[in-house]
Amino acid sequence: MRYLGFPLGIALFLLILYLPPGAGLSSAAQAGTACFALALVWWVTEPFPTYVTSLVLMFLLLVTRVATDKTIMYVLGMDVIWLNLLAFILSSMLVKVRLAKRMAFWLILKFGKKASWALLAFLLLHMILAPLIPATAARAVMTLPLIIVVAAIYGATEETNNNFGRNLLLLNLCCISVLSSMTMTGSAANLIAVGLIQTMADQRVYYMDWVKVGTPLAVVTMFIMWIVGQKLLFRIPKQQQTPQLEGGLEVVETQYRELGPLTRDEKKAIAIFSLVLTLWMTDIFHMRWFGVEISAPFAALLGAVIVLLPRYGVLQWSEAEIPWHLLIFSAGAYAGGLALDDTGAAAWGVKALFGSIDLKGVPFGVTYTVIIAVMMYSHLLTTSKTVRTIIMLPIIITLAKALGWNPLSLALPAALCIDWVVGLPISGKPNVILFSTNQYSVADNFKYGMVTCTVGVLLLVAFALTWFPWIGLTPDFWALAP
């Protein structure tokens, strides 16, 4: 596949580039799609390292005149790249002072007698964190050091990947995004969707209305993925079921005891991390308290400043392990994603998906399933949840009205899919951050993400057959339009 990936990518690029121009598609959008398709094939098949493909993509975007040099270079200064860099500084601090090791040992002694319980512990952790910290990138940064150490204890490192590592990283990735759909405050895009429903459909969605439908869906999906991931997608062999340290759990217990009481540096690290965490959790009060909002990257930046302070800090710059090659991968990937958004290619693709389907006269359940599926998988076309919400929700509400259905019955279930951006390493900020660990490939991410989305679609259909009509959200699944 590696051998054929290169010609396949170029062939796809040429095919898209020379297609007859579609109505409403600009020449730059067509070229941008061709460049992105080439990069996608190369990222999955890896004829070159992923960061080289990203550099090729950036060059192609320039020479096909999809984006200007400034626009392409700008992505390396984007908030997600900064957050990634700062996350690795904070993570290096936790590793250096051995706090990450202490927390990981504790977690494993409590829950990690079996690999699956360690995975479950992370799922439960994210269920608690999701309603408290809406910023998904912040949640990824927070849990990253713990994930890396726990993965290492089970034998998964950057150099030697294993299925436990894949399960751990990808379960975390999906938990971070999917569990954001538990509440309407889980992401800014959810609130935009609620606003659109209110202005366009004239119906209010209250906090508990969302929780009633969003929480069961997100939680059940993640429990299913916890099982499916380790039993079907990336089966964890017996030898990876227990910690990969010589001597097993006894050694973990001995090493945990040997760590002794908290050191001064560990206490400093706790204080710094708590400060960053507090800033992340209280962002809605910042304007009132400080007269300015300290965004997630800047809270991490403040933490990094303290971490690196001479004499009072706990880390020197040379000790910070920053994976620059993966930041380059992320920058290239984001440049490609932004090109799709800015040239209108993403919007055109989404509209074309709906425009090609005739839903007149079909039962509600068919319309509902099509809309849910398009909404769920359309995240592969754009890197922005907000863009997707602004494009899709008005179309769905207008379509519902035209077909004679209550707009809420289609718009709210569709809005629940907004946060499920799990298919590719560039689909969301947490994906970029977790991919930087180099513990799984683009193909692994795609496989796990697509199965998660499919489970979500199937559950939404099952809910539309049972739970949703019962609470009055949707009509009978087989009902015909009034």
Partner 1 sequence: MIRTFLFMVLWWINSAFGAVEINAYNTRLDIAPDGSATASVSLILAKGEPGRFRLPVGFAGLEAFAVQDVPSGVVLTPRPSLDQSSVEIDLPIDVSDDVVLAFTFKIPKLLFAPIPEEGQKSTLPDGSRLLRHNFVNTQAATIMKYQVQVRLPDETMVHMIREQLPKTKRKEFAPRVELDRFEGRQGALLQLANLKQGDRTSMELEVVGDRRSYGWLIAGLVLILGYLVSFRDLVNTDGR
Between 25 and 327, CB nearer to partner 1: 25
Residue 52 near partner 1 by CB under 8 A: no
Hey, is 215 helix, strand or coil?
helix
**Beta carbon of residue 417, minimum distance to partner 1 (angstroms, whole number):** 19
| Number of helical (H) and strand (E) elements in the chain, helices listed first | 23, 0
**Beta carbon of residue 370, minimum distance to partner 1 (angstroms, whole number):** 21
**Beta carbon of residue 16, minimum distance to partner 1 (angstroms, whole number):** 11
Between 27 and 278, CB nearer to partner 1: 27
Q: Which residues of 345-363 are buried (b: 16+ CB within 10 A; e: fewer)?
A: bbbbbbeebbeeeebeeeb
Residue 7 near partner 1 by CB under 8 A: yes
Total site size for partner 1, rule CB under 8 A: 28
Burial group, residue 29, by CB count within 10 angstroms (0-12, 13-18, 19+): buried
Residue among 281, 317, 274 at smallest CA distance from 296: 281
Residue 368 near partner 1 by CB under 8 A: no
Give kind and range of the element (H or E) at residue 477.
none
- Residue from 155, 323, 394, 469 touching partner 1 (CB under 8 A): that is 394
**Beta carbon of residue 407, minimum distance to partner 1 (angstroms, whole number):** 14
The interface region with partner 1, picked from 22-30, 99-107, 435-443, 470-478 by CB under 8 A, is 22-30
Q: Which amino acid is at 226?
A: W
Provide DSSP, 308-362.
H-TTTSS--GGG----HHHHHHHHHHHHHHHHHHHTTHHHHHHHHHHHT---TT-
Residue 65 near partner 1 by CB under 8 A: yes
421 contacts: CB under 8 Å, gap ≥ 6: 177, 379, 385, 427, 428, 431
φ, ψ of residue 164 in degrees (nearest 5): -65, -45
> Within positions 322 to 361, which residues make up the interface with partner 1, using CB under 8 A?
343-344, 347
String of contacts with partner 1 for each residue 197-226, x by CB under 8 A: --xx--------------------------
Residue 188 near partner 1 by CB under 8 A: no
In a 13 Å sphere around the CA of 23, the CA atoms on its Cβ side amount to 3
Residue 254 near partner 1 by CB under 8 A: no
d(CA 217, CA 208): 14
**Beta carbon of residue 21, minimum distance to partner 1 (angstroms, whole number):** 5
**Beta carbon of residue 35, minimum distance to partner 1 (angstroms, whole number):** 11
> Within positions 262 to 291, which residues make up the interface with partner 1, using CB under 8 A?
none
**Which contacts qualify for 357-360: CB closer than 8 Å, 24 or more apart?**
359/399, 359/403, 360/403
**Beta carbon of residue 364, minimum distance to partner 1 (angstroms, whole number):** 24
Residue 26 near partner 1 by CB under 8 A: yes
Between 217 and 345, CB nearer to partner 1: 345
Q: Which residues bind partner 1 (CB under 8 A)?
A: 2-3, 6-7, 10-11, 13-14, 17-18, 20-21, 23-29, 47, 65, 199-200, 343-344, 347, 390, 394
